[in-house]
A and B are shown apart, each in its own frame.
Chain A
Amino acid sequence: MTQRPEDSLENPHKEPAEQASPISNEGIPAPDGASSLIDTDYVIGQDNITGKYSLHLDIHGKVFGISALSILLFVVLTLALQDQAKPIFEGMRHWLTSNLSWFFLLAGNIFVLLCVFLIFSPYGKVRLGGAKAKPDYSYMGWFSMLFAAGMGVGLMFYGVSEPISHFDAAMGGITMGDHGVRTDWAPLGGAAGNAKTAESLAMAATIFHWGLHPWAIYAIVGLALALFSFNKGLPLTMRSIFYPVLGERIWGWPGHIIDILAVFATLFGLATSLGIGATQAAAGMGYLFGTPDDSATKVFLIIGITGIALTSIMLGVDKGVKRLSQINMVLAFLLLLFVIIVGPTLLILTGFFKNLGAYIVELPALSNPFGRADANFSQGWTAFYWAWWISWSPFVGMFIARISRGRTVREFLTAVLLVPSLVSVLWMTTFGDIAIHQVVANGFQGVKDAALPLQLFTMLGQLPLTAITSFLGIVLVIVFFVTSSDSGSLVIDSITSGGKVNAPKPQRVFWGITEGVVAIALLVGGGLTGLQAMAVSTGLPFTIVLLVGCYSIIQGLRSEPRSA
């Protein structure tokens, strides 16, 4: 078992012969089977502050301290300066998405292309965790966790509202503003007055936002983390991905900054989802039980749900997150099945393939980053989504990495890219096509006219057993919310403790509470725009991080032995 790395990544600062650490002098056993470990003198947790004050702690002082303090400062400022905060958030989001949309779109395409390339290249044979590693989770458990972590609340929120918005905008056709600038929100060229074309365009655009691209982003982060942790022996934090570029410097400030960025991105990405979840749950409860749909309700919802999440955090991964994800999957599947059966079943089933086709046909035009005429759509929708997915990527990626040991690169990428994308197509087809069908065939305008968070419930209102399905809808929003908050706390805790997963529980509790507090602050201070602005602005630096990650993945895979 004492295999020396034959072709390991060169350490730029030392001769390979000298860099053997005390550990490797005893001979590092390879991970289960052949793999190529990186030699480094760094000991995981060496920079950590461990203390036995009133609470037992184990944290990376700089990463934890800076992230926690800046987030605290942010919350205080947002709450204290509510009137000033909102325009700042709006301006920020507008500036970022309108000036840098090409960058987000281009990066998204690079991630998809790299994933597809890796699936078909010989690198696909590399096994995460070493040639003989065995998977820890079954396919079912694996998929449900992948899916619950990756999309969660967003599916509930946008499942009805996004297709119907695109449809509506496309039907309206192109409208020109004063200076020859398009003022409509239609994707591509729109489809003025043509319901059939508008429907297929709307579905293609929605699937584009929920299909290959988001999952490619997650896959890249997950793959990079899994590779550098399981095969190279580096700690499970974002900085490890940078080893091929920065070498030993990742243990210093460059590494700290990368990890801090990851914490910010995760926290604000999560808070956006929590805010959206609370908005929708509050709207749904108002619709169903007549509770007031105001900030107070949302704040109470966030507090209550964070409480449930804390319980789940205390129960750990296998009893908390895993179980919740599975409950989620069952509930989501029941809702989906019910809607397919009581809705226009045939329409949905044929729609699935029709929409998939439309997606493939429109994909090149939709993903084109340059010279877009449909500025509102590509900047307001696509660029925002890309930034949002990217801000989620450290969290989802790390979670995916943790549960993916023992899979080959090909297996990993196929599973992370294709399966969730197909489920998204089915989900969006079901909820979107029914809503569009209600408008076109039945002339029901309710969904179109309802507020965004209410659209799901208005659509369900047209189907039988409304009370039950709407209630199920609210429960799903809440459980998705809990899963995200729970797994998010695990991930942030792991990053802020220098890559440890066995840090004391109070730290996780701290991050769980922080997520709730940030969500409340953003919701009260800046509304949904505030949430989205922060997600987009933390997504930007992280896009650069991910592009470097692409290079590292190739470098890392080149030195790995390939399993037969």
Chain B
Amino acid sequence: MYNKIMVPVDLAHIDALGKSLQVAADLAQHFNAELCYVSVTTDIPGPVARTPDEYEQKLNQFAKEHGLAHGRPVSAHVFLSHDPAVDLNEILGKAITETGADLVVMGTHLPRHLDAIMPAHGGQLAAHTNASVFLVRP
């Protein structure tokens, strides 16, 4: 039913992503789908990597390990942004088109009042894409 599952990951908060990574891997095995890990990073040094190249290398490494663990084909894509805090949704939307993913599995926080002003990325993305979106709540 699904051929390519896109999983947005932030290597800086990998510990918070365990559940959505598991869900994505289980679904990939069920549908025989490819796992596609995407990340958005900046060109200034961050906690994970000091350059975009270094970040990409780490994401590739991360994807390879997960591919081996779950026995699914994997790919990894890094997208650059000058202002990830703001541009994230838009870039993830672009990533869906570019990677050709038909399902997105991503972690998100519980709904709360502040969402009216500052909505969660997952909900925003789901509202603006044709792909199916699976929001994994903590």
Contact = CB atoms under 8 A, between A and B. Distances in A.
B85 interface: yes
Interface residues of B, number: 22
B65 to A, nearest CB: 13
Given A136-B82, A229-B44, A505 B118 contact: yes
B86 A314 contact: yes
Interface in B5-29: 12
A525 interface: no
Contact of A501 (B12, B42, B54, B57): B42
Interface stretch (A27-35, A527-535, A540-548): A27-35
Interface string A389-413: 0000000000000100100000000
Given A28-B50, A29-B53, A29-B54, A236 B86 contact: no
Given A31-B51, A314-B86, A318-B83, 10 more contacts: A28-B50, A29-B54, A43-B47, A44-B45, A45-B12, A316-B82, A318-B82, A501-B44, A501-B83, A502-B42
A29 B47 contact: no
Interface string A493-536: 00000011111111010000000000000000000000000000
Contacts of A54: 114
Interface string B70-91: 0000000000001111110000
25 contacts: A1-B53, A28-B50, A28-B54, A31-B51, A32-B53, A45-B12, A45-B46, A52-B109, A129-B43, A233-B50, A235-B45, A236-B44, A316-B82, A316-B83, A316-B85, A317-B82, A317-B86, A318-B83, A500-B46, A501-B85, A502-B46, A502-B83, A505-B86, A505-B118, A506-B118
A405 B52 CA distance: 12
Contacts of B109: 52
A318 B87 contact: yes
B95 to A, nearest CB: 17
A152 interface: no
Contacts of B51: 29-32, 130, 230, 233
A236 B87 CA distance: 20
Interface string A276-308: 000000000000000000000000000000000
A346 interface: no
B82 A402 contact: yes
A502 B85 contact: yes
A360 interface: no
Interface in A249-283: none
Given A29-B53, A130-B51, A44 B46 contact: yes
B84 A502 contact: yes
Interface centre among B12, B45, B114 (most CB of A within 10 A): B45
B15 to A, nearest CB: 12
B12 to A, nearest CB: 8
A314 B51 CA distance: 26
A506 B57 CA distance: 31
Contacts of A317: 82-83, 86
A1 B85 CA distance: 29
Interface in A127-180: 129-130, 136
Contact of B47 (A44, A236, A315): A44
Across the A-B interface, give the 6 residue pairs with the lowest CB-CB distance, nearest first.
A316-B86, A233-B50, A317-B83, A316-B83, A31-B51, A502-B84
Given A315-B86, A502-B84, A45 B47 contact: yes
Contacts of B118: 505-506
Contacts of B53: 1, 29-32
A503 B85 contact: yes
Contacts of B84: 501-502
A99 B31 CA distance: 77
Given A29-B54, A500-B46, A505 B85 contact: yes
A504 B46 CA distance: 15
A55 interface: yes
Interface in B48-76: 50-54, 57
A434 interface: no
Contacts of A129: 43
B92 to A, nearest CB: 14
A402 B43 CA distance: 9
A72 B54 CA distance: 40
A475 to B, nearest CB: 25
Contact of A236 (B45, B54, B57): B45
A417 interface: no
A317 B86 CA distance: 8
A224 interface: no
Contacts of B46: 44-45, 500, 502
Contacts of A508: 85
A37 interface: yes
B41 to A, nearest CB: 8
Contacts of A230: 43-45, 51
A54 to B, nearest CB: 8
Nearest to A405: B43
A314 B54 CA distance: 29
Nearest to B52: A32
B52 to A, nearest CB: 8
Interface centre among B53, B84, B109 (most CB of A within 10 A): B53
